[in-house]
Amino acid sequence: MTFWFTPPELEALLLSLRVSLVAVSVALPLAILTATALAHRNFPGKALIDGAVYLPLVLPPVVMGYLLLLLFGTRGPVGAWLLETFDIRLVFSWKGAALASAIITFPFQVRAIRLSLEAIDSGLGDAAATLGAGRIDRFFNLTLPLALPGIVAGAITAFAASLGEFGAIITFVSNIPGETRTLPLAIYSALQSPGGEDAAMRLSLIAIALALIGVTLAEIADRRIRKMIGR
């Protein structure tokens, strides 16, 4: 068994990294805002929104992919509008894979950031307010720095989870070589091909390695940042 990657396997690996990076980057600002609202505010329907945020964690990924297909497909309400207005087609595209990954891994970011926000002493914000700091000033200069461990840990965890996303991607954007065939889909394709066991093993090993690296980096980053800010 050779451990050298073939061009299609390397293409799948690089595509996975690209999709995961875009997914986490796009979802992170919204995750911060959502976590802030859920951590510090009480409003009607909060429990419902809280449940909706974490829904991707409990729903089968195939169901999420199907819902995305209904909404963002070329005949879906949002997908048809994007195609007609901006000539953007998400279905059967790597951009759609990034969208699916962002939605599936969104709860990981929200939960990590929310836990970090809830651990902040509320008295610090009150003290800053008495010194004349406005709400926006407190958010960017006090809340965000103190929540940095959760932000970093959530982003890294979501990135690692995105690398392993399969069900939502294959349902929404199919399994197209060079366009939507990410690492998990490449493993699946190898297992469906005669004599593809070696390729499946190579890709599985790199997937395991990336997952271990992601989880380890998240833990290291969390500890170091907490030490830096004295938490």
All structural domains of the chain = 7-229 (1.10.3720.10)
Residue-wise pLDDT tens digits, 24-36: 999 999 999 999 9
Q: Is the distance from CB of 138 to CB of 128 less than 8 angstroms? A: yes
| Joined tokens for residue 184 | 């998990």
The pTM of this model reads 0.89
pLDDT in tens, 103-156: 999 999 999 999 888 888 777 766 777 766 777 888 888 888 888 888 998 999
Sort 2 into a burial class: Cβ within 10 Å, 0-12 / 13-18 / 19+.
exposed
CA distance 140 to 104: 27
Dihedral over Cα of 35, 39, 40, 42: its sign: positive
CB neighbour class for 29 (10 Å; exposed up to 12, middle 13-18, buried from 19): exposed
